[in-house]
């Protein structure tokens, strides 16, 4: 039986609504984690810098520098996502940041380092059997998916981006 045009519109708008809610979820998941991760690290910048140096990927002073600024960047990006401002750009930047983290963690794992990712404070050398590389990578993959989803479908519920004139 053919659908009436009104039914089609109703069905599509239901689907749109569901996707909007999904967008909100993606924003809050990625934005919330970024915001929390940054906010936890801001009071202890030395620790954040040390966690960055422990990856042994960058020259010492550059690693310290990024360790100092990364928490602030995470807080800013998290705020934009939570508020739903420039969702598409924030989403893709967040996703690329997650890919960067995945690469760094995987590289630490492959080089046989035993470090904590330092994602939520902490970081640095830990006991070899206390490493959690796989869990850290899986979590970051899930967050990267949230970011890419927002890139491809930035519209979501309760976003400042939606505000009409």
Q: Which range touches other proteins (CB under 8 A), out of 26-34, 91-99, 101-109, 125-133? A: 125-133
**Residue 61 interacting with other proteins (CB under 8 A):** yes
By CB under 8 A, name the one of 109, 155, 157, 158 that touches other proteins. 155
CB atoms closer than 10 angstroms to residue 62: 12
Distance of alpha carbon 165 from alpha carbon 1, whole angstroms: 42
Region 67-86 residues binding other proteins, contact defined as CB under 8 A: 68-69, 71-73, 75-76, 79-80, 83, 85-86
* Contacts for 102 with CB less than 8 Å, ≥ 6 apart: 137, 140, 141, 144
Nearest distance from C-beta of residue 129 to other proteins, angstroms:
11
By CB under 8 A, name the one of 11, 60, 62, 135 that touches other proteins. 60
What spatial distance separates the first Cα and last Cα of the chain, rounded to whole Å? Answer: 42
Nearest distance from C-beta of residue 139 to other proteins, angstroms:
23
Q: Where are the alpha helices (DSSP H) in 42-132?
A: 45-54, 60-83, 87-110
Residue 15 or residue 138: which is nearer to other proteins going by CB? 15
Nearest distance from C-beta of residue 1 to other proteins, angstroms:
25
Distance of alpha carbon 79 from alpha carbon 82, whole angstroms: 5
By CB under 8 A, name the one of 49, 93, 98, 102 that touches other proteins. 49
By CB under 8 A, name the one of 43, 62, 100, 142 that touches other proteins. 43
> Among positive and negative, which fits the CA dihedral 65, 77, 104, 151?
negative
Query: Across the strands, what pairs with 121?
Result: 119
Distance of alpha carbon 78 from alpha carbon 26, whole angstroms: 12
- What are the residues binding other proteins (CB under 8 A)? 13, 16, 19, 42-47, 49-51, 53-54, 60-61, 64-65, 68-69, 71-73, 75-76, 79-80, 83, 85-86, 123-125, 127-128, 152-155, 160-165
């Amino acid at each position: 039986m053919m659908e009436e045009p009104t039914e089609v519109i109703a069905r599509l708008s239901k689907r749109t609504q569901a996707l909007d809610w999904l967008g909100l979820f993606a924003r809050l998941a990625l934005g919330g984690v970024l915001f929390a991760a940054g906010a936890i690290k801001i009071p202890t910048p030395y620790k954040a810098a040390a966690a960055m140096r422990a990856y042994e990927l960058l020259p010492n002073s550059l690693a310290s520098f990024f360790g100092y600024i990364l928490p602030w960047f995470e807080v800013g990006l998290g705020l934009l996502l939570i508020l739903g401002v420039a969702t598409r750009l924030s989403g893709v930047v967040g996703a690329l940041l997650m890919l960067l983290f995945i690469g760094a963690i995987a590289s630490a794992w492959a080089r046989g380092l035993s470090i904590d990712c330092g994602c939520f404070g902490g970081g640095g050398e830990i006991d070899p059997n206390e490493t959690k590389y796989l869990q850290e990578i899986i979590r970051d993959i899930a967050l990267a998916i949230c970011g890419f989803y927002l890139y491809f479908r930035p519209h979501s519920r309760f976003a400042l981006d939606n505000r009409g004139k």
